[in-house]
Structure 1
Amino acid sequence: MIDLQGSELDEMIAAEKKQVATEYHAEAWADGISDGIETEILAETAITTAVTELVRRHGESEVLELLEALRRRVEYGEFRADRALQ
């Protein structure tokens, strides 16, 4: 029998949800590409939809903080396809 603390279980559930969400997004992305939609249009639409929903749920200040954190991650090269994983 597996004995997990509440926070460990919550982390596992969150990780599973992120994995499923990633799979949904990958499928939608592939469908868009196969329908002839350019990657730039898919990306901008995904970002715009996400930011709109986050502002609606959490407000502009919190979203601006998130966007600043994402900006730093981009600057550090976290999203480069050629980055080396250690």
Structure 2
Amino acid sequence: MFAPASGTAVFDRDQGERQLALEYLAEAWNCAEDDGVQSAALAHASLFAALATFVKMHGDDATADLIALLPDRIRSGEYNLERILQ
């Protein structure tokens, strides 16, 4: 990967890795649903796994600070897959 002049190479690399990770998770999610696991159970398990990983990597306080930012982001539609971007 070539580094752009704007200095966003790390962001681009991280974004690509996040996209790949999301694709893996989507595949696992679909397989679990095919096996009869309910979406709500998958969502709860995914949140638990994500939060436990953040706590392990960054600690309780930093994770709590991150989570405190989520209500506004959720309300603004950032996690709404049906949102129409203009």
| TM-score, normalization by structure 2 | 0.85
After TM superposition, give the deviation of residue 4 of structure 1 in Å: 3.0
Query: Greater helix share, 1 or 2?
Result: 1
- Displacement of 1:8 in angstroms is 2.2
Q: Percent identity?
A: 28
How far apart are the structure 1 equivalents of 2:73 and 2:44? Answer: 18
Measure the CA separation in 1 of the matches of 2:81 and 2:26.
16
The equivalent of 2:40 in structure 1 is 40
How many corresponding residue pairs?
85
Give the superposed CA RMSD. Answer: 1.8
Tell me the TM-score normalized by structure 1: 0.85
Aligned to 2:13: 13
Q: Which runs of 5+ in 2 are unaligned?
A: none
Return the letter of the residue paired with 1:78.
E
> Any gaps of 5 or more consecutive residues in structure 1?
none
Query: Aligned residue for 2:61?
Result: 61
